[in-house]
Amino acid sequence: MSSTAPSGIQDVLHGGRLSITSVRAEQVLDSRGWPTISVALTLDDGSVHEAAAPAGASTGAFEAVELRDDAPEYSGRGVLNAVAGVEGAVAATLTATPWDGIRQLDDALRELDGTPNLARLGANAIVAVSMAASRGFAHLAGVPLYVWIAAQTGSDPLMPVPHFNVLNGGAHAANDLDFQEFMIAPVGVGSEQDAVRAGSETYHALQAAVRDQFHTAGLGDEGGFAPPIANPVQALDLLVAAIATAGYTTDQVKVAIDPAANGFYLGDGNYQVDGRRLDRRQLVDYYDGLLGDYPIWSLEDGMAENDFEGWQLLFERVGDRAQVMGDDLFVTDPARIRQGAAEHYANSALIKVNQIGTVSQTFDAIAAARENDMTCMVSHRSGETPDTFIADLVVGTGVGQIKSGAPARGERVAKYNRLMSIERSEPRLRYGLR
Ligand X SMILES: C=C(OP(=O)(O)O)C(=O)O
Please give the annotated binding residues, written as ranges.
Answer: 172, 180-181, 258, 300, 327, 352, 379-382, 403
Identity of the residue, 252 or 347, whose beta carbon is nearer to ligand X in the bound complex: 347
Q: How far is the CB of 96 from ligand X (least distance, A)?
A: 34
- Comparing CA positions, the residue from 293, 9, 286 lying closest to residue 156 is 9
Identity of the residue, 99 or 416, whose beta carbon is nearer to ligand X in the bound complex: 416
Per-residue x/- track, 248-267, ligand X (CB under 6 A): ----------x-x-------
The interface region with ligand X, picked from 184-192, 235-243, 244-252, 378-386 by CB under 6 A, is 378-386
User: What's the one-letter identity of residue 104?
Assistant: Q
Q: Hey, which residues does 52 pair with through a beta bridge?
A: 38
The interface region with ligand X, picked from 132-140, 270-278, 308-316, 376-384 by CB under 6 A, is 376-384
CB atoms within 10 A of CB 182: 26
Q: How far is the CB of 66 from ligand X (least distance, A)?
A: 12
Extract the runs of DSSP E, i.e. beta strands, from 15-88.
Answer: 20-29, 35-43, 48-52
Identity of the residue, 134 or 175, whose beta carbon is nearer to Mg ion in the bound complex: 175
**Residue 381 near which of ligand X, Mg ion, none (CB within 5-8 Å, type-dependent):** ligand X
Among 113, 192, 327, 411, binds Mg ion (CB under 5 A): 327
* Residue 382 within binding range of ligand X, rule CB under 6 A: yes
Q: How far is the CB of 35 from ligand X (least distance, A)?
A: 16
What gap in Å lies between CA 87 and CA 93, rounded to an integer? 10
18 phi, psi to nearest 5 deg: -85, 110
Give the count of residues interacting with Mg ion (CB under 5 A): 3
352 is known as an active-site residue: yes
Identity of the residue, 252 or 355, whose beta carbon is nearer to ligand X in the bound complex: 355
- Of the residues 63, 192, 201, 352, which is catalytic? 352
* Residue 59 within binding range of ligand X, rule CB under 6 A: yes
Q: Give residues 6-45 in contact with Mg ion (rule: CB under 5 A).
A: none
Q: How far is the CB of 264 from ligand X (least distance, A)?
A: 13
222 is known as an active-site residue: yes
Q: Give residues 39-58 in contact with ligand X (rule: CB under 6 A).
A: 56-58
What gap in Å lies between CA 386 and CA 78, rounded to an integer? 19
User: What's the one-letter identity of residue 145?
Assistant: L
**Residue 48 near which of Mg ion, ligand X, none (CB within 5-8 Å, type-dependent):** none
What gap in Å lies between CA 242 and CA 184, rounded to an integer? 10
Q: Are 266 and 201 in contact (CB under 8 A)?
A: no
Identity of the residue, 54 or 136, whose beta carbon is nearer to Mg ion in the bound complex: 54
Q: How far is the CB of 260 from ligand X (least distance, A)?
A: 5
Longest dimension (CA), the chain: 62
Task: Write the CB contacts of 40 (distance below 8 Å, at least 6 apart in sequence).
Answer: 23, 24, 25, 48, 49, 50, 132
Give the count of residues interacting with ligand X (CB under 6 A): 10
**Residue 49 near which of ligand X, Mg ion, none (CB within 5-8 Å, type-dependent):** none
CA distances from 161 to 62, 149, 294, 417 (A): 28, 18, 19, 13
- Of the residues 63, 66, 192, 222, which is catalytic? 222
CB atoms within 10 A of CB 119: 14
Q: Any idea of the CA torsion for 114, 118, 123, 127, to the nearest 10 degrees?
A: 50
What gap in Å lies between CA 301 and CA 407, rounded to an integer? 23
For every residue of 324-367, DSSP letters joined together read EEESTTTTT-HHHHHHHHHTT--SEEEE-HHHH-SHHHHHHHHH
Q: Which residues are documented as binding site for (2R)-2-phosphoglycerate?
A: 180, 352, 381-382, 403
* Residue 258 within binding range of Mg ion, rule CB under 5 A: yes
What gap in Å lies between CA 25 and CA 134, rounded to an integer? 16
**Residue 177 near which of ligand X, Mg ion, none (CB within 5-8 Å, type-dependent):** none
Among 192, 307, 327, 387, binds ligand X (CB under 6 A): 327
Among 379, 385, 388, 397, binds ligand X (CB under 6 A): 379
Identity of the residue, 130 or 404, whose beta carbon is nearer to ligand X in the bound complex: 404
Identity of the residue, 258 or 305, whose beta carbon is nearer to Mg ion in the bound complex: 258
Nearest residue to the partner ligand X, using Cβ: 56
Q: What is the strand order of the sheet 48-52 is part of?
A: 20-29, 35-43, 48-52
What gap in Å lies between CA 190 and CA 432, rounded to an integer? 8
Residues forming contacts to Mg ion in the complex (CB under 5 A) are: 258, 301, 327
Residues forming contacts to ligand X in the complex (CB under 6 A) are: 56-59, 258, 260, 327, 379, 381-382
Could you give the residue numbers annotated as active site? Answer: 222, 352
